Structure 1
Amino acid sequence: MSDIIQLLPDHVANQIAAGEVVQRPASVVKELLENAIDAGATSIKLLLKDAGKTLIQVIDDGKGMSTTDARLCFERHATSKIRKAEDLFNIHTKGFRGEALASIAAIAHVELKTKQEDEELGTQIKIEGSKVSSQEVVSTSKGTSIAVKNLFFNIPARRNFLKSDSIETRHVVDEFQRVALTHPDISFLLHHNNNEVYNLRKSNLRQRIVSIFGSKMNERLVPINEQTDIITVAGFVVKPEFAKKKRGEQFFFVNNRFIKSSYLNHAVVNAFEGLLDHSSHPSYFLYLEVPPNTIDINIHPTKTEIKFDNEKALYAILRATVKHSLGQYNVAPVLDFERDANLDTPYNYSKKDTPSVPPITVDPNFNPFKSENNFQSTPNTTTSSSSGSSNSSNYSSGNNYQTNYKKDAGSWEALYTDSSFESDSNTDSDSDLDINSDISPVSNFTSFESTHQEQLFESAQETETGKTFQIQKKYLLSSIKSGVVLIHQSLAHQRVLYEEFLENITVKEASSQQLLFPVTISFSSSDIEMIYSIKSDLESAGFMFDEFTKESVVIGGIPTSITESQITLILEQLLDDIKLEVPDASFSHFDVMAKSFAKSLAIKTGTILSLKEQENLVNNLFSCKEPSTSPFGKPTFKTLSLQEIDSIFNK
């Protein structure tokens, strides 16, 4: 029987290794930026075309490479970072395995230019699919420039799995931000399709965060600083009132390396206990320094997961540090939630003598219940002067009663006295009616109150005669011939809005309403770039843009189906959905826009619906093309037949 095991050719082995190291253009960006940092660069430029699918070029001013090193760096497991196995537990650099450039060269066209400072000329190498096509001496500046073109040109299946340009750009920007946040002492420049996205100058950490995420971030940051024997924690957390519904701006760095750790994230969230809603997530930029021999960073190909020796101690320290900073900077709540800080005694006056208490004077003759209303005496005087002797005694007794009544009732009687009643009392013939008739201020008010209550009860009875009922402000129960149907009001409304938006965007010509005053909304530079990339699709949906800047966008018109107050909510939801890869690579942004609009504008759980609103929602749902599921695949209703209901009680 012949042997069946054989060694793979180098180019095949490189392609297999590339599958672990290079998953998308962002993976190439990460490796090249880290190599530039390890080379001691003080200025790094990143140039992209078509989200990195056509070109990824990194230019640095580091120490460069010799001719031999330039050729050897594309070999597998060729590295200058480690020499022996023990070095794996004392790593201070970004890369160390020597697989990045070899994997990249196996699946792309690579052009390398490099020169050391003490050399007059540099070296240029061109590689296509692990094969060196040319090597020559060139004149170039100090440092290294490496261009990766036509990524996955020899693996079309992998290229087809790439997402749309906007999504791939988002991943590239994420990697760029992670590297830039780690090294504020290095200037970074990012260009995409000849458009400048970031131009980050050398600065401190706070300025670097503000430069990336916008000027409004400066007032939201709470500094963190704690030093112990086993860990040093520094950085910033964002104030609780600026927490987000999505997990976005959450960054952990361990020894200047970005990591992902759900365990440490839980420690930070726990420190915000009592300050956040259950659906909100805190933002933070935390930098941890630990001894290199207490961590293992070689457990994942992308090196974003780290194993700690003493996780429980790190958890306790991190939680206590964040909680202490929130309390130190008056972010954590105090026991007296109604306390006004403006009424606190200033520190400079806390030890001064209390001034003498001013005297209090009281007017003993003041009576707050005494009323002086002229209208009480005027009718009586006029009537008594014109009445006859035969009615004088009768009127006198009535007048005494009326006087006592007004004395007891006070001035509130005028609020309920009918104007016709008061005017009739000025005549002689109606003087007795003023006392003896059944019409009185109290009876008038009572009859009005009872009538009003009857109207309220009648309207309540009318609402109970409908065919739909709202349950716990979340579900609608409607009666059908075969039983009942239980409808999730929020998911059902999402389906209705989704089909309406999709039809308005694609089938009908979307109508816009011009804003009287244009609205300016602030975003980060990467979000502005993403909005600009889908600008034409948004305009097809009814948006009108007046101006784009690096940190804001000016909107002059919006679709007629939304209001001005919903613009920010809709755009933020749209950006989150694009970042989370809601659309498929073959979908246009119309679909994801319709889904985002529907999710943003749909009625939420806890909203009280009137009987008419309930019936409209039920009718609109079952008029949809696909009423059974929401735009995100969740069921919108459940039908219970009479047999199923009977079986519940007949067990």
Structure 2
Amino acid sequence: MANIQVLDPIITNKIAAGEVVERPSSIVKELVENSIDANASYIEVFIEESGMKSIKVIDDGDGILKEDASLLFERHATSKISSDYDLFSIRTMGFRGEALASISSVSRTIVKSFNESSAPFLIEMYGGEEVVREPAAERKGTEVIVLDLFFNTPARYKYVSSLTTEAGKIIDVMQKFSFNHPNISFKLTFDGKQRFRTKGNGNLKEIIADIYGINTARIALPVEAKSPDYSLTGYIIRPEMTRSNRNYINISINNRMIRDFRLTNSVIRAYHTLLAKDKYPIVILNVDMDPKIVDVNVHPAKTEVRISKIKELEALIEESIKKVLHGETLIPDSIEHTTFQKPKIEKPRIEQEAIDFSSITDGINPWIQREKDYSKENTDSEDKTFRDNILSYNNKNVDREVPPNVSRANESIPQSFKDDTRGVTEVEVKKERLPYFEIIGQFHGTYILMQNETGLYLMDQHAAQERIKYEYYYNHIKNRDEKVQLLLPYTFEFAYDDVIKIDEKLNDLKNLSFKIEKTGMKNYTVVEYPSWINQKDPEGDIRAVIDFISNTDHFSVEDYKEEMSIMMSCKDSIKANHYLDKRQMQNLLDELGQCHSPFTCPHGRPIIIHFTTYEIERMFNRIMK
């Protein structure tokens, strides 16, 4: 008797089900994709016990011909493709012809469908075998019911998480469908309770409001970009609203939900320094492209794809999001204001009229006066670079008595930077990105109080100077390759365990402008080092750099340059309880306004918080209903 035999179709279907039907959310995804391919305008999903008891999907699509009923549950039976050429131009959600065969093999599955060109029918499958076929009532579209999931494969129960987790995954899948197909009305019901419903009117921002809330939709920013190969559309949420994981970064290709680590990282890079550590943005993006440059036939779940020009797409996503964020004034409202929804009725009248900042008692417009004052201070250098303005921070205050606990802005900038007369090419003085602020004073020696016609603002002085110095340091470290030569080289001795790691990273150290050679079994000699090393203790900093690089598994020169800039800017900036006079506060504000991104410190914390006049009046009960 031969050892090799062809497996029974029921067994092969169960094997295929292991890839296609991973969990209840996989079934929801496959069935809804079939409804989308059937041109449905309304899709309703009913779930019981997170899908383990029952999943029902109803649509108003084209329906299935009665003549095709016998092939409905056959593997690789599909109406989506007919030749191998079609695999290179796939635009439908499904195409493999495996979903219904796999689902029916591990459950009890009932399909009711009606196509206007044929008679309605009902088929019931039990563990992959047909048990009922009969006529059904006329109702346009298709209804699929999946009962008793995994009843004949009990081992699969061990890999199904809690009902709450499974419910969350189903909700996530349905939300992604809603984002990718705003012209379709979706309804999701759990155990008789409606979770969400979309209108299907094509308004993506309205869907964001339905799913994430009105406050999220209010700060959604549209993104549109094109390149020869790609067209990018969608919304990004301002960085004051974040999440603790990447699951809210929704990227789709030709309206197909996908998972791609590289594209997700391009989104995160675009929010560079605008997000706090371990915080991630909310993003909804769709990329339209020629299906010939994307391969969706990679995995049965069809969420993994291969894109032939992935680097170009990464760059398009990153640059388009950066452009949108750079055009916004990213000053968040106070915490209370972000959770308080203004009434939709006409704005209420308040007892006290708002202060008119366009005219003061002495008849001087503060906007114009501030321009005059600033231009007078800089008549000797109209084209000052950002570096020059940092170095002049202290010079503006030479005639004033400075409290002993105030840290000078340029006190800790390396001497090699101070002596350099060349400007930083990447960041130059530009039109200020901040609105006009009138400085009121200082709170607890930590926060600078400001106001304008829209309300009250608090600026964190440490975070503000961190941003100023970070951009200054980063541009020097990134754009310059100057070195400091040592007459007497530094020699370092390391443990044998570290020597192996350092030997592997010698090229990385040289890329950071170190001239370092191994001079013994455990000894290394440095004869040159980059100019951005702290001049107060260069030997200690060099050792710290070597230790850091040797103990970093995935070292990136660019990432390390940024980490160094962040560390130096944080260490050298004004700390809390440092009192400033009004001129110093104004200088700090002026320098911040010329930063490339003046809204967050390098760690992603906000620099300025806004309290609206409306909110303050409401807190004091001065609003007249």
When normalised by structure 1's length, the TM-score is: 0.50
Q: Deviations over 1:511-541 (max 9, x none)?
A: xxxxxxxxxxxxxxxxxxxxxxxxxxxxxxx
Partner residue, 2:190: 192
Deviations 1:572-610 (A, max 9, x none): xxxxxxxxxxxxxxxxxxxxxxxxxxxxxxxxxxxxxxx
Matched-pair contact (CA < 8 Å) for 1:275–1:332? no
> Structure 2: which amino acid aligns with 1:129?
G
Partners of 1:164 and 1:244 in 2: CA distance: 22
How much identity, in percent, do the aligned residues show?
35
Q: Is the 8 A contact 1:71 1:125 kept in 2?
A: no
1:491-529 superposed Cα distances (whole Å, 9 cap, x missing partner): xxxxxxxxxxxxxxxxxxxxxxxxxxxxxxxxxxxxxxx
Aligned pair count reads 342
Question: Paired residue for 1:126, among 120, 124, 127?
Answer: 124
Q: What amino acid sits opposite 2:218 in the alignment? A: E
Counterpart contact for 1:75–1:102, Cα < 8 Å: yes
Aligned to 2:14: 15
- Asked if 1:152 is matched to 2:156, the reply is no
Q: Give SS of 1:242's match.
A: coil
Higher relative contact order (CA 8 A, sep 6+): 2
Pair 1:230 & 2:226 matched: no
Q: CA deviation at 1:33?
A: 0.3
Distance 2:322 2:245 in 1: 22
Secondary structure of the corresponding residue to residue 184 of structure 1: coil
Partner Cα separation in structure 2 for residue 162 and residue 256 of structure 1: 28
Tell me the CA shift for residue 3 of structure 1: 2.2
Q: Distance in 1 between matches of 2:207 and 2:46?
A: 20
Aligned position for 1:438 = none
Deviations 1:130-160 (A, max 9, x none): 1110111121301100101000111111124
Does 1:173 find its partner at 2:176?
no
Q: 1:41 maps to what in 2?
A: 40
**Pair 273,74 (structure 1): closer, same or farther in 2 beyond 3 Å:** same
Q: Shift of residue 279 of structure 1?
A: 2.3
Deviations, residues 276-315 of structure 1 (Å, cap 9, x unaligned)? 2232212211111111000111112211111111111111
| Partner SS for 2:47 | strand
Letter of the 1:242 counterpart: M
Deviation at 1:332, TM superposition (A): 9.2
Give the Cα separation in 2 of the matches to 1:69 and 1:8.
25
CA distance in 2, matches of 1:316, 1:158: 41
**Structure 2 vs 1, CA of residues 167 and 11 (structure 1 numbering), >3 Å: closer, same or farther?**
same
Aligned: 1:309 with 2:304: no
Instruction: Please tell me the residue identity of whatever aligns with 1:170.
Output: G
Q: Output the amino acid matched with 1:163.
A: S
Contact 1:222 1:325 in 2 (8 A): yes
Q: CA deviation at 1:231?
A: 0.7
CA distance in 2, matches of 1:316, 1:63: 40
Between the aligned partners of 2:312 and 2:217, the Cα distance in structure 1 is 31
1:61-115 per-position Cα deviation (integer Å, ceiling 9, x unaligned)? 0010111212212100000111111111101100000000000011110111100
Query: In the aligned structure 2, how far is the partner of 1:244 from the partner of 1:103?
Result: 35
- Unmatched segments (≥5 aa) in structure 1: 334-341, 358-651
2:176 partner letter:
R
| Alpha-carbon distance in 2 for matches of 1:277, 1:353 | 36
**Correspondence 1:535-554 to 2 at 5 A:** none
Task: State the Cα distance separating 1:274 from its structure 2 match.
Answer: 2.2
Alpha carbons 1:39, 1:62 under 8 Å: kept: yes
Distance 1:343 1:281, change over 3 A: farther
Matches within 5 A, 1:339-350: none
The answer to whether the 8 A contact 2:65-2:117 is kept is no
- What letter matches 1:45 in structure 2? E
* One-letter code aligned to 1:114: S
Q: 1:457 matched to which residue of 2? A: none
Name 1:87's counterpart in structure 2. Answer: 86
Structure-to-structure mapping, 1:312-391, within 5 angstroms:
312-331=311-330
Q: Which residue of 1 aligns with 2:380?
A: none
Distance 1:35 1:239, change over 3 A: same
The residue that corresponds to 1:205 in the other structure is 204
C-alpha change, 1:308 and 1:343, in structure 2 (3 Å) is farther
Q: Aligned AA for 1:198?
A: F
The amino acid of 1:302's aligned partner reads: A
Q: Would the aligned equivalents of 1:153 and 1:159 in 2 still touch at CA under 8 Å?
A: no
RMSD: 2.4
In the TM superposition, residue 192 of structure 1 has moved relative to its aligned partner by: 1.0
Output the amino acid matched with 1:188: F
Amino acid paired to 2:180: T
2:70 aligned with 1:71, yes or no?
yes
Q: For residues 93-492 of structure 1, what are the structure 2 equivalents within 5 Å?
A: 93-119=92-118, 121-203=119-201, 204-331=203-330
| Distance of 1:291 and 1:270 partners within structure 2 | 26
Secondary structure of the 1:111 match is: strand
Decide whether the 8 Å contact of 2:249 with 2:284 is kept in 1. Answer: yes
Q: Is the 8 A contact 1:45 1:190 kept in 2?
A: yes
Matching residue's letter, 1:172: I
Secondary structure of the residue that 1:224 maps to in structure 2?
A: strand
Q: Contact conserved, 1:245 with 1:279, CA < 8 A, in 2? A: yes
Q: Which has the higher helix share?
A: 1
Deviations along 1:416-436, whole A, 9 cap, x unmatched? Answer: xxxxxxxxxxxxxxxxxxxxx
Q: How far did 1:275 drift? A: 1.2
* Matching residue's letter, 1:240: P
Q: Which has the larger radius of gyration?
A: 1
Q: Counterparts of 1:22 and 1:112 in 2: how far apart (Å)?
A: 17
Distance in 2 of aligned mates of 1:36 and 1:151: 21
- Distance in 2, matches of 1:123 and 1:131, equals 17
Distance 1:92 1:332 in 2: 41
Measured after TM superposition, the shift of residue 246 of structure 1 is: 2.5
Post-superposition offset of 1:344:
9.7
Are the counterparts in 2 of residues 70 and 114 from structure 1 also a CA contact under 8 Å? no
The residue number in structure 1 matching 2:412 is none
| 3-state secondary structure, aligned to 1:240 | coil
Q: Counterparts of 1:28 and 1:320 in 2: how far apart (Å)?
A: 36
* Range with bigger deviation, 311-320 or 73-82: 311-320
Give the CA deviation at 1:118. 4.2
Paired residue for 1:649?
none
- How far does residue 240 in structure 1 lie from its aligned partner after superposition? 1.1
Superposition deviation, residue 176 in structure 1: 1.1
Looking at structure 2, the residues matched to 247 and 93 of structure 1 have their Cα atoms a distance apart, in angstroms, of 27
Alpha-carbon separation, structure 2, partners of 1:73 and 1:290:
31
